[in-house]
Structures are given as structure tokens and as C-alpha cells.
């Protein structure tokens, strides 16, 4: 049985790079590209199959900022698959980002420069809007659409005999102070992206609490700062090129500046269950040895 991997936002950036990396590691996978733009997804599928003809690559159309689209996609997925082994909840937006130029210049000449560039803390605000579902667009795209996706796919994900993994693309921009339980959609604030990424971090913890026993595990990763359509929305490509020497310099001090989506995938692919289990067994063995040594020392004294 091929392992099935579902990836939202597989049409560009880190999602696309992830598809390539996954097939380089194992071309017997079945990748299901969950994208809103089918022609983009078709192009990705063609290029993946050209380099990995043994793979299976399918497409499901989903716009995670639209609940009817999510319901339709999950209905199709339940007809196509018995189970999903990995789900990368990666699609995300940061619409109309406004850069606080004053804060940028103040930060450039402060001791916080690395922190500022790697977290964008205090640098970015966004203009959010309502979707036809009546929800804040950033919240629905980055969090709620994905939440409904996994709720609807529960029967494909919860198999205690062979666990499924959810991997969320979070961000170092996630900040507790931007999230409020009184305004989970961040309709009153100006940093909906940061709030949505913090919400993802919280949700992952809650999913583990509620679903681990049923065989579903969730984790969050930050791919670092990469140049993708998302970051090109903050500054035009030529400005990124102008500040690139500074960013390269900072890269020596902080590995958060991954720069390319290819480097960004490193975090998403870093953890694997086998190594985790082997590591756990080694720790148990070491614990046993240490306990015996302590016992022997105590007996001698």
C-alpha cells in the first residue's frame, strides 16, 4: 500500500518544494495536491511526474477560505482514499501587508535586529476582510478551513493501529499577545497573520490532547524566512534583492533565514516517526542502565 500524503498549498512556495523533497526521499508515495487553482496544480503534477514517474500524484480542488469548497473536497477525498498517512496543512495567506518603516529603521540599528528580521515582530500589519462565509479571511484560510478539513476527514485519519500525522506550517511571527480568546478571528486587531499562526500552535496542542489516543498526531513547524509569493507581498522582489546582503550576513548568526523554499522544507521533513521511536527506545535503555548503576552505587555505600 502506498502511503498517502495530502498537502494544502502545494502549488507554490514551500508546499511545492515539499512535494519535490518528499518524492526525492520516496517516489512510491501517493501525493495528493490540495490546491485552489487547478491549472497551477496540473502544472505541478506534470512536473513532479516528469521527474518521478513511479510516483502517484493526484489533485483535489480546495479553497480553504470557503467552507462549501472544503466540504466538497473532503467528500471527494473520502470517496478516493481509505486513509491519509500525512496531512501537511500548509496553505496560508498574509494579505495586504503593511511594513512599519519607522520600526524597521529603528530595529536595524538596535540589538534586536536578528530577532526583528526572523520574527517580523512589530513590523507587519495586515488589512483583513470578511469571506462569503462571514469569517475573517486570514483566520478562515490559515486556521478554520484547515480545522474543518481535518474534522471532516476524521475517519481517514484516526487509526490507532497505524497513526496519521498532521504537520502545520506555522511561523516565528506567531505571537501570544496578538491572540485573544475573546476575538479568535482577530477581527479587531491589525496583526491577523500573527494571531492565526499562534492559533495554529494552540490548535495543534489541543488536537494532540483530543486525538492522540485515536492515532492522530499533530505538530507545528516554522520553515524560516523564505522568498516566496507571500514574502514578495511584503516587499517587492527588487527590494528583497537590495537587502539581500544584510540578510546573508544575518544568516551567519541565525538559521531562521532559510531564504529558499527548498531550505524551508528542511524543518517540515526533519522529524520522522521511525527515528523518534528508535530514539525513545535508546532513552529507555539508557535509563535502565543508569538506574542499575545508581542502584549498584547505593548498594556499595
Ligand X SMILES: NC(=O)c1ccc[n+]([C@@H]2O[C@H](COP(=O)([O-])OP(=O)(O)OC[C@H]3O[C@@H](n4cnc5c(N)ncnc54)[C@H](OP(=O)(O)O)[C@@H]3O)[C@@H](O)[C@H]2O)c1
At 79, list the grid cell.
Answer: 470517496
Binding footprint of ligand X, residue count (CB under 6 A): 31
Which position among 97, 107, 192, 223 is part of the footprint of ligand X (CB under 6 A)?
A: 223
Q: Which is nearer to ligand X, 3 or 40 (CB)?
A: 40
Residues 6+ apart with CB under 8 A from 258: 223, 224, 225, 226, 264, 266, 267
Site string for ligand X, 178-217 (x = CB under 6 A): ----------------------------------------
Any long-range contacts for 44-51 (C-beta under 8 Å, 24+ apart)? 44/10, 44/11, 44/16, 44/19, 48/19, 48/20, 48/23, 51/20, 51/23
Environment class of residue 76 by beta-carbon count within 10 Å: exposed (0-12), middle (13-18) or buried (19+)?
middle
Residues 67 and 145: beta-carbon distance below 8 Å: yes
Binding residue (CB under 6 A) for ligand X from 7, 157, 174, 226: 226
Q: How many CB atoms lie within 10 A of CB 113?
A: 16
Residue with smaller CB distance to ligand X, 141 or 204: 141
- Which pairing describes strands 30-35 and 4-8: parallel, antiparallel, or unpaired? parallel
Q: Which residues contact 41 (CB under 8 A, 6 or more apart)?
A: 10, 11, 33, 35, 59, 61
Site string for ligand X, 144-173 (x = CB under 6 A): -------------------------x-x--
Given 229, 275, 281, 289, the residue binding ligand X (CB under 6 A)? 229
Active site residue 198: no
State which residue has the least CB distance to ligand X.
13
* Residue 15 contacts ligand X per CB under 6 A: yes
Identified binder of ligand X from the candidate list 13, 97, 189, 192, rule CB under 6 A: 13
**Residues marked as catalytic:** 193
Query: Given the rule CB under 6 A, which residues bind ligand X?
Result: 8-9, 11-15, 35-37, 40, 62-65, 90-93, 141, 169, 171, 222-223, 225-226, 228-231, 261
Amino acid at each position: 500500500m502506498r502511503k498517502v500524503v495530502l498537502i494544502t498549498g502545494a502549488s507554490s512556495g514551500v508546499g511545492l518544494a515539499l512535494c519535490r523533497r518528499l518524492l526525492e526521499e520516496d517516489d512510491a508515495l501517493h501525493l495528493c495536491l490540495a490546491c485552489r487553482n487547478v491549472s497551477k496544480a496540473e502544472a505541478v503534477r506534470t512536473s513532479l511526474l516528469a521527474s518521478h514517474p513511479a510516483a502517484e500524484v493526484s489533485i483535489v480542488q480546495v479553497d480553504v477560505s470557503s467552507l462549501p469548497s472544503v466540504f466538497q473536497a473532503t467528500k471527494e477525498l473520502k470517496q478516493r482514499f481509505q486513509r491519509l498517512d500525512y496531512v501537511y496543512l500548509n496553505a496560508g495567506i498574509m494579505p495586504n501587508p503593511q511594513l512599519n518603516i519607522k520600526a524597521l529603521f529603528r530595529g536595524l540599528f538596535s540589538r534586536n535586529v536578528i530577532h526583528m528580521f526572523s520574527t517580523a515582530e512589530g513590523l507587519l500589519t495586515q488589512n483583513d476582510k470578511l469571506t462569503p462565509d462571514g469569517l475573517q479571511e486570514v483566520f478562515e484560510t490559515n486556521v478554520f478551513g484547515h480545522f474543518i478539513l481535518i474534522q471532516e476527514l476524521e475517519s481517514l485519519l484516526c487509526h490507532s493501529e497505524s497513526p496519521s500525522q498532521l504537520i502545520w506550517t506555522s511561523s516565528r511571527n506567531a505571537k501570544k499577545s496578538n491572540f485573544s480568546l475573546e476575538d479568535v478571528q482577530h477581527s479587531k486587531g491589525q496583526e491577523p497573520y500573527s494571531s492565526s499562526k499562534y492559533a495554529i500552535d494552540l490548535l495543534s496542542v489541543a488536537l494532540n490532547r483530543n486525538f492522540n489516543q485515536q492515532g492522530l498526531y499533530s505538530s507545528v513547524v516554522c520553515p524560516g524566512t523564505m522568498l516566496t509569493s507571500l514574502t514578495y507581498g511584503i516587499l517587492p522582489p527588487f527590494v528583497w534583492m537590495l537587502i539581500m546582503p544584510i540578510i546573508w550576513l544575518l544568516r551567519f548568526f541565525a538559521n531562521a533565514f532559510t531564504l529558499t523554499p527548498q531550505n524551508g522544507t528542511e524543518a517540515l521533513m526533519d522529524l520522522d516517526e521511525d527515528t523518534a521511536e528508535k530514539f525513545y527506545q535508546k532513552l529507555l535503555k539508557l535509563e535502565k542502565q543508569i538506574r542499575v548503576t545508581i542502584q549498584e552505587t547505593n548498594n556499595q555505600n
